[in-house]
């Protein structure tokens, strides 16, 4: 059964009850319990390949693309357009739309050798060194900040482009939890019961 066919109908009117329409009540949401989420025996990890959609992965794993919603719920994905990894082509188009075609390879931020992010040349860290004059913000353990300029020290800042930044975010979404096929029918049944109560 398709995902939205499991939802109970909602009777809706726009004209003070003169006409009534039956619509799907999409405002309900079911989440996995913490116990199920923490129980590693009920799921495996899966690395999403470039271009794979939830339907493709569900068909590979469960033999049914209609069970894509199980993948989404298992990984707290509300909007697959943004929470599921984009294909390389879609990521490139997204970056062009967000930053402009001429700015996708401009610097977004810098990182040091420890991959500590230094946006706008600011570094929130207890101690650091820099290879050129860069404003730094040192933050003490009590949260007090002090601005310093350091010159010719050894920080080795590495620029990260807008595209690299977005690509790293996109890649971080590739490893997902796959609920084991033996458990899916039970979850499907429970979901159908809960969504209709």
87-106 confidence digits (pLDDT tens): 999 999 999 999 999 999 98
Q: Are residues 128 and 191 in the same domain?
A: no
pLDDT of residue 36: 74
pTM: predicted TM-score of the whole model, two decimal places: 0.65
Rounded distance between C-alpha atoms, residue 98 and residue 166, angstroms: 10
Rounded distance between C-alpha atoms, residue 54 and residue 80, angstroms: 8
> What is the domain count for the chain?
2
Residue 110's pLDDT band, with cuts at 50, 70 and 90, is confident
Determine the structural domain holding residue 135 and report its residue range: 109-162
Q: Does the residue 187 lie in any domain?
A: yes
Q: What is the dihedral of CA 170, 174, 176, 178, to 10 degrees?
A: 140
Q: Does the residue 24 lie in any domain?
A: yes
Q: Does the residue 96 lie in any domain?
A: no
Q: Does the residue 146 lie in any domain?
A: yes
Higher pLDDT, 84 or 14: 84
Cβ neighbours of 197 (radius 10 Å):
6
Q: Does the residue 120 lie in any domain?
A: yes
Q: Are residues 188 and 148 in the same domain?
A: no
Higher pLDDT, 155 or 25: 25
The DSSP H or E segment spanning 165 is helix 162-171
Q: What is the dihedral of CA 186, 188, 194, 195, to 10 degrees?
A: 180
Q: Are residues 156 and 116 in the same domain?
A: yes
Higher pLDDT, 63 or 143: 63
Contact (Cβ atoms closer than 8 angstroms) between residue 149 and residue 96: no
Cβ neighbours of 128 (radius 10 Å):
19
Q: Any alpha helices (H) in 42-87, and if so which ranges?
A: 54-62, 68-74, 80-83
Rounded distance between C-alpha atoms, residue 167 and residue 105, angstroms: 12
Q: Are residues 80 and 12 in the same domain?
A: yes
Q: Are residues 113 and 152 in the same domain?
A: yes
28 alpha-carbon distance from chain centroid: 21
Q: Are residues 152 and 190 in the same domain?
A: no
């Amino acid at each position: 059964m398709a995902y939205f066919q499991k939802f109970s109908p909602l009777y809706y009117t726009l004209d003070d009850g003169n006409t009534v329409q039956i619509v799907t009540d999409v405002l309900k949401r079911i989440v996995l319990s913490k116990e199920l989420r923490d129980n590693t025996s009920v799921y495996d990890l899966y690395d999403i390949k470039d271009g794979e959609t939830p339907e493709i992965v569900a068909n590979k794993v469960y033999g049914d693309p209609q069970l894509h919603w199980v993948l989404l719920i298992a990984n707290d994905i509300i909007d697959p357009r943004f929470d599921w990894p984009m294909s390389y082509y879609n990521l490139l188009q997204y970056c062009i739309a967000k930053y402009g075609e001429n700015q996708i390879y401009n610097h977004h931020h810098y990182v040091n050798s420890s991959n500590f992010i230094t946006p706008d040349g600011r570094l929130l860290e207890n101690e650091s060194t820099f290879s050129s004059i860069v404003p730094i913000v040192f933050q003490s353990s009590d949260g007090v900040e002090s601005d310093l300029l350091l010159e010719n020290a050894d920080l080795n800042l590495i620029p990260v482009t807008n595209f690299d930044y977005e690509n790293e975010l996109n890649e971080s979404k590739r490893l997902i939890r796959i609920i084991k096929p033996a458990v899916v029918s039970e979850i499907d049944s429970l979901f159908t019961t809960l969504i209709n109560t």
